[in-house]
Amino acid sequence: MHEPAITPELVAKHNLTPDEYRKILEILGREPSYTELGIFSVMWSEHCSYKNTRPVLKTFPTKGEKILVGAGEENAGIIDVGDGVAIAFKIESHNHPSAVEPFQGAATGVGGIIRDIFTMGARPVAALNSLRFGELSNPEVRRLFSGVVGGIAHYGNCFGIPTVAGEVYFDKSYEGNPLVNAFALGVLRHDQITRGAAHGIGNPVFYVGPATGRDGLAGAAFASQDLTEESAEQQRGAVQVGDPFMEKLVCEACLELLATGCVAGMQDMGAAGLTCSTCETAARAGTGIEIELDKVPQRAPNMSSYEIMLSESQERMLIVVHKGREAEVKAVFDKWDLPWAEIGVVTDTGRMVVRHGGKVVVDVPAKKLADEAPVYQRESREAAYMAAVRAFRLDGIADTRDPMGDLGALLSNHTIASKNWVYGQYDHMVRDGSVVCPGSDAAVIRIKADSLPVTKAEYAAAKSGAADGFQPPAPLADKYVAFTVDCNGGYVYLDPYEGGKAAVTEACRNLACSGAIPVGSTDNLNFGNPHNPEIFWQLKESVRGLADGCRAFGAPVTGGNVSLYNQRGALGAIDPTPTVAVVGIIEKPEHITTQWFKDAGDAILLLGAPVDLADPLQGLGGSAYLKTRHGLKNGLPPRVDLGVAQTLHTTLLGLIREGVVKSAHDCSEGGLAVTLAESCFSQQVARESHRFLGATVDLSACAEGARLDALLFGETQNRVVVSVAAIDAGRVLKQAQAMGVPAVQIGTVGGESLILKTPAGQFSAPVAQLHDGWWNSIAQAMA
């Protein structure tokens, strides 16, 4: 097979700098082959090596007493949830592939994150996603949106994993570069944790899954460069094609194989495909690995070494097997009707050696390739636009004169409106573990005994057909896990540090409103080109905010993903979007709380200050109200006091555990009025059947001196609306105030309208009317 000569132009085409190429020459002591050049290109890409962000990522809190597998150790983090049970979870991006081929880009993003879970030995039981698009008035955005949602639905529904939560934002900054961040969570016992390491000299290495093709070629490198019209067209081949039914078979086969005790190490072939799985498993174990490409199943004729090593064809796994147990492994693969091949062996050389056609085509030190990519300290500089942001004031912006008209416009805003058009395409009930489905502040799932992978003892007993002497595991009490994902990219753009804090705080507030205590987090850092000092400043500052928030709420980072170069030509960079997913535990099922009002006559309480009067913008900076009604994305966003937030969350959780809170809903985009409206109509009792329960709210004595638009639509942080039985209202107010949380009764549940009494007069609208715009807005835009 003819390979091109290594020239400076070819090196540059592989996104390697002259200095990086010189380092490769030092490592090898010779010129690399074409295949080796490709291997270094993908392994030293930002997507695989984090060469531009590693110093920043080290500032995250990553330690905790419940962490069993921490950030950077393996494919996903794992946290103890008690009784010998653990959860594995992670979030990752598939942004560039989704921009080029939205359906397959999003579908394979789901497939990739699911593999990250079961390669740890965990059974995947739930998924969520965080999506960003341009405005739906643009036909191209509608095409991308439809394709992405369709791809997520296709893969998740076919695999059989419930997609139970998520978020979708719409903003012009994402017009040329949508964001598709996929999260998955799985469950396992502590002794079932599997490592992606090539242990055991002489152990055979197996490939399992469909044959390798030319799809997904060098996808990791594609994800680590600016997206342009030219690169998008050239890299359509870098978008993988997924088969969720095949992945289901691979998952079940791998979990069964782990129960046999045959496995010494396991790794999925994700970014960088066979390259990443071989060199990383060897590097983690401090061993070497040697593989033979002629033995790798191939679905295209005459594939080159370069193509086989860099292909990112989906649903493939690399498994290191204890020597002598090959027959058991083959039997499991054959049972599940899966293609497999024994392609290599673990060595003691510390090198990754690849043979093809009887020749050595790759011979590279595994650890230097996997762990010693160059690391850069990028220049950072505060963005020039920040001067105008800090100077912005509300002078000249008239206060609202039509609060109900403004409320209707906000509820119809596609970012705030119901996402039923999205989640209606997802199966969120499969596996029968979903407790709180899409539509409340956080999703809640139940971990049942049958959610867990089969144990070695159970497998052995079932295999032998003899129960003599077999002691089944002790009955497992159901556990309840809540999770949510959050980030207001507009906030982060206007103040990266405060925006980062706000993302974590809102996620943890959503958990508190659901009755959950945070136990860990995973983040997806979506930014533009890191070589731009202003963009790198956004990244550093937002990570500082995320890190402070995670420390404050006891939610250490267990892993995640960095996605840079999210920009497209004249459209520029996306708003900085450090998405964070936080997972929490609910101790008892009776503590599970939802956001909608429950009974007529209940008292409505506001926990937290109605308006932050110390903020010159009174919570309107960066607000959905300013953007929706005045076309402005400007002003410093509302401040986040982490101490105040901690106190609020602790107080709310205490009240929930006492059994006095009937509903809890956090105030975020759209402010207090949107929160109240959603509490009136967001319960869906059956498909297309909604429960409307109005409210009479008196804000006339709240926040004297505040603007009316700030009182109703300002986004002052650390506020929650709760409903309690009228008889409990006084006690709840006293307890909250004793804890240092501002609290006031603002209304009563009941009626068919939302009535707002304000210092400027009384305003009202039928709940059904408000609901119509909120529920149908996205569907109407997509019609």
DSSP helix/strand/coil, 657: helix
Q: 595: closest CA among 409, 426, 404, 437?
A: 437
Burial of 574 (0-12, 13-18, 19+ CB in 10 A): buried
Q: 122: closest CA among 68, 41, 50?
A: 68
Residues 421/156, Cβ–Cβ less than 8 Å: no
Q: Which two tokens stand for residue 617?
A: 């913008």
Q: What angle do CA 305, 310, 311 make, to 5 degrees?
A: 100
Residue 318 to residue 321: CA distance in whole angstroms: 10
Whether 47 sits among the annotated catalytic residues: the reply is yes
Catalytic residue among 47, 414, 428, 591: 47
Catalytic residue among 94, 154, 665, 771: 94
Q: 209: closest CA among 337, 90, 305?
A: 337
DSSP helix/strand/coil, 163: strand
Q: What angle do CA 651, 656, 659 make, to 5 degrees?
A: 135
Residue 354 to residue 325: CA distance in whole angstroms: 24
Q: Which residues contact 2 (CB under 8 A, 6 or more apart)?
A: none
Whether 690 sits among the annotated catalytic residues: the reply is no
Helix 767-782 vs helix 403-412: angle between axes, to the nearest 10 degrees? 40
Residues 720/652, Cβ–Cβ less than 8 Å: yes
Alpha helices in 173-266 (DSSP H): 219-222, 229-234, 244-260
Q: Which two tokens stand for residue 539?
A: 């990244």
Q: Which residues contact 542 (CB under 8 A, 6 or more apart)?
A: 492, 496, 497, 499, 500, 525, 576, 578
Element housing 93 (H / E): strand 85-93
SS3 content of the chain, % helix, strand, coil (to 5): 40, 25, 35
Q: Residue 625 half-sphere exposure, CB side, CA atoms within 13 Å?
A: 33
651: amino acid identity, one letter: T
CB atoms < 10 A from the CB of 26, how many?
Answer: 9
DSSP code at position 335? H
Q: 664: closest CA among 597, 725, 718, 711?
A: 597
CB atoms < 10 A from the CB of 191, how many?
Answer: 10
Give the DSSP letter string of 513-539: HHT-EEEEEEEEEE-S-TTSHHHHHHH
Pairing verdict, β 683-686 and 753-758:
unpaired
Active-site annotation, residues: 47, 94
